[in-house]
A and B are shown apart, each in its own frame.
Chain A
């Protein structure tokens, strides 16, 4: 057994970590998040040029990584800087699907030229990947889609959308879901763009009789959608871990400097113990992600069990860590000025992406 990163991944980690520490300060991050576009095009291109996007694809697809540990290494660093560029939606969610289908869009994604966004869940789906009621009908050689897709990450800047829709089956069937490529400029496509409370760009996407092109096999897309989400969950869990580490470091540092009653607050045993628990939970988080990343290329049940385990654990531990970080900082953590507040917001809101603690607990029980 070996839990160490190999040489290549250590380099990837160091390069990305250094780049982010130097170039992606919290001030810049807030500026990017609050800008009209919601992220920085320049940063986006730099991530591509640094090979960060390529690291998320395997060699067959033209990348140089693409395994669980690559996702883990990259997203842990992105989480440490609260990076808002839509790497997750383009390279992981859409990238997994497109590379499995040998799409030539992958090359453009890796180079940073193209962004693709996956529009899958709907207002009624909650977190259920099979609960899809959008419809696609064939019209001669073309397909036409009607859909309302919710909380589509990275949608506003996407050059292409991957949209799921029913070509058969009932609202909850895994069978009968197909994927389509849609041009966001095409007729009938409308975006309602917004920012999430933790500063990430998303949109509700409406399609009314919009032209679309079938991707992969008709009716059989569920397995691929599930795989894309498994990989996205590993990524977002690692992102959460990175954010939690920073929140922990900030809190410990504050405990060393903030004085009340004539001593640093780090001297209060009750706070010491709670930070000790935070540290334990961080290690648990890391281990659960190692498990999920390690089984990512195994059979479905094994893979999904560990994916759900990680997402459940991260939801619980994340809440604890974010809430402790705020509480132990006291009033100052309640402010926009204090960067720890932005970390706390992101850590908490990750529970709302790709299934929360309860969803994955239930799923874990079912898979077991």
Chain B
């Protein structure tokens, strides 16, 4: 057993730190650290910087312009980026679509789409969920009917994260209603500018436009936009779910959130001393830190195993559940730490240019909103109930 990073991993970490210190724009890091809104161009700016360095796609093979890092390297990278206040890398094109294309896409599709994902030409969104198909994704109804050289797509997707920025959407669509439900689903790439697509915003409980509904009416999609074989889309989507595992636990985010919580707790005062010295609050913080420290090791144990070629399993479900519960707990504590100043909320103050004086401490405004927004963590990407079902079935044989 050896708990430390190796010599070369440490050198790599220094390199990442050095890169972040010099190349991550201060303006963007400040937005992230202060819980401000990010614009489309902020994500694009940062991704272009990473791409220039060859670090935008940590888990892509080198032949496609990826970094081909080990799992431990990816873990280090995520942790450092979060602490430095880098925007999150949106997973839709880079982490979700690309692995599917590499494994199941045609040579033409790889040659066309992969470079455009890297250089930011195409912004992708994920069109899986439908109003009637959430946890039970296989019940999806959006239909694609073959007519000559095209599919004609009709139906509705929903919850499409940042779809308002997207150039393309990758969709699971129904191409057959025969046999098992899973066996009539195909994986289709659709240009968002195609006539017949209408996108409508969904405003979340914190007032933010983060997700959308996407309606398809007789949308013509060329057959060459089918990935792999018709009716095999479910297999590809499942491949994706077990493929991308480094980020599942959200360690980097929790780490950064805990650091932020600690800094809040050292400035907030209670009974004449910093809140972090209050036994009740200190106990709550220690508890979640203990859980996070253990999860870091659980995460690395899983990652190291995956690196050595072990088959993916329900471990990612464990990481997802514990990771989201911990992150939500940290958000809860940050809200508590503020006391009465968790209450005021000025939405405009989340804008970059806002320069009126804050109400209460300068870090207060986004905190409660973040707590509410992150309730999504236990709902999406396979709800925690669904993940528990997977664990008890595959791990415990129940």
Contact = CB atoms under 8 A, between A and B. Distances in A.
A342 B345 CA distance: 14
Contacts of B346: 194
Interface in B361-377: 368-369, 371-373, 375-376
A349 interface: yes
B204 A349 contact: no
Contact of A150 (B206, B340, B380): B340
A192 B205 contact: no
Contacts of B359: 192, 194, 204
B228 interface: no
Contact-residue bracket for chain B? 35 or more
Contacts of A327: 375, 378-379, 383-385
A353 B379 contact: no
Nearest to B207: A336
B202 A335 contact: yes
Contacts of B338: 352
Contact of B345 (A123, A195, A271, A334): A195
A140 interface: no
Given A172-B272, A344-B205, A358-B281, A353 B340 contact: yes
Given A150-B360, A260-B134, A335 B340 contact: no
B129 A331 contact: yes
B354 interface: no
A330 interface: yes
Contacts, number: 130
Interface string A254-271: 000001111000001011
Contact of B342 (A200, A204, A352, A358): A352
A110 B1 CA distance: 73
Contacts of B270: 126, 128
A261 B272 contact: no
Contact of A196 (B135, B269, B344, B384): B344
Interface residues of A, number: 50
A260 B340 contact: no
Nearest to A268: B385
A197 interface: yes
Given A330-B383, A337-B203, A356 B336 contact: yes
B358 to A, nearest CB: 10
A326 interface: yes
Given A261-B136, A352-B340, A358-B280, A323 B203 contact: no
A334 B340 contact: no
A341 interface: yes
Given A192-B359, A197-B369, A334-B204, A260 B339 contact: no
A361 interface: yes
A151 B221 CA distance: 55
Interface string A344-368: 1100110111001010011000000
A202 interface: yes
Given A192-B359, A270-B388, A358-B281, A126 B343 contact: no
Q: Which of B134, B340, B345, B378 has the most CB of A within 10 A?
A: B340
A8 to B, nearest CB: 34
A169 to B, nearest CB: 15
Contacts of A182: none
Given A124-B269, A128-B271, A150-B360, A341 B205 contact: yes
B139 interface: yes
Interface in A296-350: 319, 323, 326-327, 330-331, 333-338, 341-342, 344-345, 348-349
Interface of B: 129, 132, 134-136, 139, 159, 202-207, 268-272, 278, 280-281, 284, 332, 335-336, 338-346, 359-360, 368-369, 371-373, 375-376, 378-380, 383-385, 388
26 contacts: A121-B340, A128-B271, A151-B340, A195-B345, A197-B342, A197-B344, A200-B343, A260-B135, A261-B135, A268-B385, A327-B378, A330-B135, A331-B129, A331-B376, A335-B203, A335-B205, A336-B204, A336-B205, A337-B202, A341-B205, A342-B205, A345-B372, A356-B339, A358-B281, A361-B280, A362-B280
Interface of A: 121, 123-124, 126-128, 150-151, 172, 192, 194-198, 200, 202, 204, 259-262, 268, 270-271, 319, 323, 326-327, 330-331, 333-338, 341-342, 344-345, 348-349, 351-353, 356, 358, 361-362
